[in-house]
């Protein structure tokens, strides 16, 4: 029996969600896996454990409103679950399943001793006041309390969650345990068990893997034209580090607008404008563009650091960049992936490109449980080394097997997971 759920061919791209994208990626890597590991592949195509919770919140006006929340542990074969928590109006169970599965693969690619997990609440946090957001976070933390713990499953920030949300989560868990447990979440404020370098870590990983890919292509960042989708934790840091290394950020897009300047945006000015007016539109020294024009902008490198399903059949053919770097999880559909490959566009996949965040999360967890904190220089040097080594392993596999960087990343990651799974064996 085939353990891989096939994707019905009558389903067109627009009906395929992130979980189907993940299954297509597993189907792609399956024939390349060592034969002795293949019998275990079914452990990758179904999450180990999924929890759906009701999160009731008392609003400031006294009324009670309910949200649906999730925590999925995809694989725990290599260690405790690890992965962020997302607050977004489009969060669904299959999306969280896919995000948890990508965490399993990502953690194995950079070889940190974690399984893969993810959580989320279907909520638009912009509609909540700060006290409501705190109550939402604390109730959600209590509801998923049965799954989390510093040795069981360790959440972190993701889309629309930040250091403050992690501080509330850590406090709620600690109050219920009767002791301070800093290691239950990562991405905390530095003054209460967080790690130096964590805030920029995902963007830094994007930056380091981009440099490695450019080296392979005999190019550098000096003068390279970069378009960035997403100006949150990942996109902002990646753009800033690339600009610092001589690149020109020629276009930026987020949910509030699309702006361009072919001679390079002034990022500090854009950041100040975005913070003050909550939109990219109207930032100094740039022109506004329609959202769909973003994909055909003249650039050498495209960084996608927003959400899933952004590069699709509809726009993959328009992309001018020769290098696409996935700062977000699952930004490219399988059809778009094939179009980019056909056109010779190199894609650094999410499970490699954005693994810097969880790598420094691992450092934070180690620092918390050993109560011994490292300098930012040590953290960045260790992060850079792990990212460069992971890139080299993936690149080597891609060359020797004649497969894409995505399939090579999946090969490296999935074989590590399945080896652990096979060694641990099936109980009973
Ligand atoms: N949410 C981030 C990711 O998707 C970080 C996860 C973590 O640090 O645990 O990789």
48-180 against 201-353: fold identical: yes
> For the residues 150-154, what does the mean pLDDT come to?
98
Q: Which residues are part of the catalytic machinery?
A: 118
What's the fold here for domain 201-353?
Rossmann fold (3.40.50)
Which ligand 1 atom is at minimum distance from the Cα of 358? Answer: 8
Please, which residues have CB within 8 angstroms of residue 239's CB and are 6 or more apart in sequence? 203, 226, 228, 231, 249, 252, 267, 303
What is the best residue among 91, 202, 328, 357 to mutate for testing ligand 1's pocket, by most ligand atoms within 8 Å of CB? 357
Q: pLDDT of 337-370, one tens digit each?
A: 999 999 999 999 999 999 999 999 999 999 999 9
Whether ligand 1 lies within 6 angstroms of the CB of 158 is answered as yes
Whether ligand 1 lies within 6 angstroms of the CB of 329 is answered as yes
What is the C-alpha separation between 220 and 72, in angstroms, rounded? 40
Q: Looking at residue 15, what is its pLDDT? A: 67
Ranges of each domain in the chain:
48-180, 201-353
Whether ligand 1 lies within 6 angstroms of the CB of 156 is answered as yes
48-180: in CATH 3.40.640.10: no
218 in the Ramachandran plot: left (φ > 0), alpha (ψ -120 to 50) or beta? left
Give the confidence band of 2 by pLDDT, cuts at 50, 70, 90: very low
Q: pLDDT of 367-379, one tens digit each?
A: 999 999 999 999 9
CA of 152 to the centre of ligand 1 (A): 16
> For the residues 143-153, what does the mean pLDDT come to?
98
Whether ligand 1 lies within 6 angstroms of the CB of 104 is answered as no
**Residue whose CA is at the smallest distance from ligand 1 atom 8:** 358
Whether ligand 1 lies within 6 angstroms of the CB of 81 is answered as no
Q: pLDDT of 235-288, one tens digit each?
A: 999 999 999 999 999 999 999 999 999 999 999 999 999 999 999 999 999 999
Q: Looking at residue 16, what is its pLDDT? A: 81
CA of 317 to the centre of ligand 1 (A): 30
Q: pLDDT of 179-220, one tens digit each?
A: 999 999 999 999 999 999 999 999 999 999 999 999 999 999
Mean per-residue pLDDT over the chain, rounded: 96
pTM: 0.96
Q: How many CA atoms, within 13 angstroms, populate the side-chain half-sphere of residue 164?
A: 7
């Amino acid at each position: 029996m085939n353990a891989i759920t096939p994707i019905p061919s009558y389903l067109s791209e627009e009906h395929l969600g992130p979980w189907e994208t993940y299954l297509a990626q597993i189907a792609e890597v399956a024939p390349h896996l060592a034969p002795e590991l293949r019998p275990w592949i079914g452990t990758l195509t179904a999450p180990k454990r999924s929890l759906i919770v009701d999160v009731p919140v008392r609003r400031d006006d006294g009324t009670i409103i309910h949200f649906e929340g999730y925590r999925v542990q995809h694989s725990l074969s290599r260690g405790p679950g690890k992965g962020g928590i997302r607050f977004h109006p489009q969060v669904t169970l299959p999306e969280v399943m896919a995000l948890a599965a990508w965490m399993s693969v990502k953690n194995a690619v950079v070889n940190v001793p974690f399984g893969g997990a993810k959580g989320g609440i279907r909520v638009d946090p912009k509609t909540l006041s700060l006290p409501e957001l705190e109550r939402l976070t604390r109730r959600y933390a209590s509801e998923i309390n049965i799954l989390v713990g510093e040795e069981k499953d360790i959440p972190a920030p993701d889309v629309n969650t930040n250091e403050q949300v992690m501080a509330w989560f850590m406090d709620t868990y600690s109050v219920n345990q009767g002791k301070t447990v800093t290691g239950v979440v990562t991405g905390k404020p530095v003054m209460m068990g967080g790690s130096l370098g964590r805030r920029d870590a995902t963007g830094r990983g994007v930056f380091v893997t981009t440099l490695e890919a450019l080296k392979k292509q005999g190019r550098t960042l000096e003068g390279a034209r970069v378009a960035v989708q997403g100006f949150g934790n990942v996109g902002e840091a990646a753009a800033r580090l690339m600009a610092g290394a001589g690149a020109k950020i020629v276009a930026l897009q987020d949910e509030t607008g699309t702006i361009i300047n072919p001679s390079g945006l002034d990022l500090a000015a854009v950041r100040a404008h975005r913070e003050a007016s909550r939109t990219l539109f109207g930032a100094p020294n740039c022109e506004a563009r329609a959202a769909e024009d973003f994909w055909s902008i003249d650039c050498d490198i495209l960084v996608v650091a927003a959400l899933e399903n952004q590069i699709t059949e509809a726009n993959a053919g328009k992309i001018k960049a020769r290098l696409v770097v996935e700062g977000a999880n699952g930004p490219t559909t399988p059809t778009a992936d094939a179009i980019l490959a056909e056109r010779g566009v190199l894609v650094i996949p999410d499970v490699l490109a954005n693994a810097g965040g969880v790598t420094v999360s691992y450092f934070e967890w180690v620092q918390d449980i050993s109560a011994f904190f490292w300098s930012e220089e040590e953290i960045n040097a260790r992060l850079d080394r792990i990212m460069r080594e992971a890139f080299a392993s993936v690149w080597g596999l891609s060359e020797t097997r004649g497969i894409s960087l995505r399939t090579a990343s999946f090969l490296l990651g999935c074989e590590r997971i399945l080896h652990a799974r096979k060694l641990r064996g099936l109980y009973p």
